[in-house]
Chains A and B, each alone.
Chain A
Amino acid sequence: MTPIEWAVLAFVLGCALATALLRDVLASIIAFAAYSLGIAVIWLVLRAPDVGLTEAAVGAGVTTVLFLLTIAKTVRPAGDDLFVDVDLTAVGVSGLLVAALASTLPALPPIGSASTPVATSRVTAYYLENAYPETGVKNAVTAVLAAYRGFDTLGEAVVVFAALIGLLVVLDRGVLA
């Protein structure tokens, strides 16, 4: 790991803690947006630019705006404390969850390792060899997304569509106005 990667990790961790601990919801949302931006950089470090682009656009951009719109309709709790009172039970449960997840970390291969199951799998080799001749697009991710797994992607697109319809139903509105 390079110093830059350590710095991004520390930034993400700090933003996550700030999101959880800050009492002011507005400050918490801003910390969460910074957290998403840090995660987007981590996706780039992990060689996943498509995911990083999504994280930056959705996580840091649109979600933040939607959260801001939502808290504009809420009431701020009284008091001037900077941080929330920490619930020790919640900290214990979170600690256990993190410990359980962290126990799987040593099993992960190093970043960019050529001997990972993902890199050596026959499926990966097939996509890398045949994606361009068979689909005519250079980005193998897009080839898998829109051609080899086009039906899945249609389902995803319809899920996004359904989210909008669902929200309109929950808000009891027939139209967007």
Chain B
Amino acid sequence: MSSPSTADGDDEFTVGDAPARPYVESPIIMATVRIVAPFVFTLGAFVMFHGADSAGGGFQGGVIVGTVILMIAIAFGVGPTRDWLSSSFLTVLVVSGVALFMGIGLAAVAFGGAFLEYTAIPVSNASKYGIELVEVGIGIIVSGTVVGLFFALAAGHANDDAEGVEE
């Protein structure tokens, strides 16, 4: 069990009976996450890619994929997980999602159609593949944002660093 952070300067800094530091190293949680994570990731990818033919889509699938990283961070600690996924990787990921969505819209313009007019792109089933790619773009944005929000909230305000809130 981890002990409450002594660097807080506030001994009553507790939530319920839990210690101030949210991370508790537990072999049960780590083993469970290790087993469950690949399945959750697969479900998320399925929901993202299969949104065209069944319930789901980029928003829902992206959240489920993002949850995998949240699970890993809860099981193995926020700090190590954040180091494992470098912050520039996350930023590039989220920006590339927006770029993918806009790129498909602009590709249609480049082939002489209107913005996001998939059928203007000279590929067979352009509309279906265009929608799938857009869903993937949305999924990338959403999963990156969910993970980003998690890390940003876990890290707290920039001024907190001096008080040792960093995991």
Residues of chain A touching chain B, judged by Cβ–Cβ distance below 8 Å, are: 24-26, 49-50, 52-54, 57-58, 61-62, 65-66, 68-76, 134-139, 141-143, 145-147, 150-151, 153-154, 156-158, 160-161, 163-164, 167-168, 171-173, 175-177
Q: Are B98 and A157 in contact (CB under 8 A)?
A: yes
Which of the listed residues B90, B97, B138 has the most CB atoms from chain A within 10 Å of its own CB?
B138
- Which positions 135-162 of chain B face chain A at CB distance < 8 Å? 135, 137-138, 141-142, 144-146, 148-160
CA distance in complex: A156, B153 (Å): 22
Q: Are A142 and B105 in contact (CB under 8 A)?
A: no
A80 to chain B, nearest CB (A): 12
Contact of A160 among B87, B115, B130, B142 (CB under 8 A): B142
Residues of A within 8 A of B86 (CB): 177
**Which size class do B's interface residues fall under?**
35 or more
Can you list 14 residue pairs at the A/B interface with Cβ under 8 Å? A57-B60, A62-B66, A66-B153, A72-B18, A76-B14, A137-B131, A139-B57, A146-B131, A147-B116, A147-B127, A151-B116, A167-B148, A173-B158, A175-B87
Is B31 positioned at the interface, with any CB of A under 8 Å from its CB? no
CA distance in complex: A172, B125 (Å): 45
How many residue pairs link A and B with beta carbons under 8 A? The number is: 177
Q: Which residue of B lies closest to A24 (CB)?
A: B16
B62 to chain A, nearest CB (A): 9
Residues of A within 8 A of B149 (CB): 62, 66, 163-164, 167
A77 to chain B, nearest CB (A): 11
Interface string of B15-31 (1 = CB under 8 A from A): 11010111000000000
Q: Which residue of B lies closest to A158 (CB)?
A: B98
Residues of chain B touching chain A, judged by Cβ–Cβ distance below 8 Å, are: 10, 12-16, 18, 20-22, 47, 51-60, 63-64, 66-67, 70, 74, 82, 86-88, 90-91, 94-95, 97-98, 101-102, 105, 115-116, 118, 125, 127-128, 130-131, 134-135, 137-138, 141-142, 144-146, 148-160, 165
B101 to chain A, nearest CB (A): 6
B83 to chain A, nearest CB (A): 8
Given A49-B55, A157-B98, CB of A57 within 8 Å of CB of B156:
no
Q: Which residue of B lies closest to A154 (CB)?
A: B101
Given A50-B60, A177-B155, CB of A76 within 8 Å of CB of B15:
yes
CA distance in complex: A65, B154 (Å): 10
Residues of A within 8 A of B16 (CB): 24, 26, 76
Residues of B within 8 A of A147 (CB): 116, 118, 127, 130-131
